[in-house]
Structure 1
């Protein structure tokens, strides 16, 4: 879990090192695959998209847990999207969706949060990375109304809301961006108050013009304004 925290705090190099050591320390294919999720995430944060895709798919094959395999396919699909590989991104996310459809139980021993809602949040982020921002927002607005949304871990929901904030800003909708960021703060405050990206987005919203009272209050709380 420490590698995930390091990635969120903009230390992907340390995150990669921590995750890589976790992978090396285990000889069980499924546990190794679960640890590789963090490796892929850190490699994506470092901009090594092809390496992230390769590592995720190599670890997914021997894993015998659909939640782990599905999450690795999500990481691979996002890496492809960040590399601009539209076809591969869609294919990998489709494969993850098929695994989510097959996984109907409540078991998630490796705490991946994998399921239909996780696939939809990944599709939204992939669309944004590929330049399809309007599609990203449509997918975001669909997933937050879905039955699976509340079953995602709070940190996952908040991280997705932070991503949606960027999409709203990119389409010139600062008020919607502010609402998304406030929802993220209510869901898991550390995703906004501790992550550099959360503070950056809040700064952009404040500088973009008169902000809603709740947004201005949050900016004061985190020390961006007085």
Structure 2
């Protein structure tokens, strides 16, 4: 929430304290690491974000099978996506591709996972496709990044207008001004409260909530 409000430094502090509180519990550490990686990415500290996410993945990988939790594939997949986005932000296309592929294998094996306690572990093929498009855009492949419009619609169909809005915000400017993007953005606005950056995008392209 602090990242959404533009308070990345406070988000980093809160996530760091959550990591400290979760010491000794790989599952809770993984949940905290998602927020930590997001805060670090917002602060343009991609290498640290990637390290935080992958360290949490390694801890989960070492968790004994007897304490394996049902949502752990989704947690691991979400962490891999965060690491891939961080790698792309650093311009490391090799790591971004490898991490996204690892997430894709998990998504294929486990399908869509939607957690209803707002812990950040919504994961599945749709999330992986969004990550592919985001990393492509950040690595300069804007043609492929236009796929974000289709992914925006997919997130709307899944009842996740926040992620749908984020997809449009991160799309290239030439993509956001297309009629299809404006239609998708209108649907995001109608779905309910929107983040500040989504509202700014709507104002920029001349759209208001209807």
TM-score, normalised relative to structure 2: 0.82
> How far apart in 2 are the matches of 1:152 and 1:99?
22
The residue number in structure 1 matching 2:138 is: 129
Q: Would the aligned equivalents of 2:169 and 2:198 in 1 still touch at CA under 8 Å?
A: yes
Q: Would the aligned equivalents of 1:50 and 1:79 in 2 still touch at CA under 8 Å?
A: yes
Report the alpha carbon displacement of residue 157 of structure 1 after superposing the two structures with TM. Answer: 2.8
The residue number in structure 2 matching 1:179 is: 183
Report the alpha carbon displacement of residue 162 of structure 1 after superposing the two structures with TM. Answer: 3.2
Aligned counterpart in structure 1 of residue 49 of structure 2, from 38, 49, 52 = 52
Aligned counterpart in structure 1 of residue 85 of structure 2, from 73, 78, 82 = 78
More deviation, 78-87/60-69: 60-69
> How far apart in 1 are the matches of 2:39 and 2:192?
21
Q: String of CA shifts for 1:74-113, please: whole Å, max 9, x gaps.
A: 0010011111111111111111111111214757475511
> How far apart in 1 are the matches of 2:2 and 2:129?
25
Q: 1:152 to 1:84 in 2, by over 3 A?
A: farther
> How far apart in 2 are the matches of 1:172 and 1:158?
11
> How far apart in 1 are the matches of 2:168 and 2:175?
15
Aligned counterpart in structure 2 of residue 25 of structure 1, from 16, 21, 26 = 21
Which structure 2 segments of 5+ residues have no match? 61-67
Question: Does 1:118 pair with 2:99?
Answer: no
Count of aligned positions:
197
Question: Does 1:40 pair with 2:49?
Answer: no
Report the alpha carbon displacement of residue 119 of structure 1 after superposing the two structures with TM. Answer: 0.7
> How far apart in 2 are the matches of 1:87 and 1:32?
26
Report the alpha carbon displacement of residue 62 of structure 1 after superposing the two structures with TM. Answer: 1.7
RMSD: 2.5
The residue number in structure 2 matching 1:209 is: none
Q: String of CA shifts for 1:58-78, please: whole Å, max 9, x gaps.
A: 011122511111101000100
TM-score, normalised relative to structure 1: 0.77
> How far apart in 2 are the matches of 1:22 and 1:53?
18
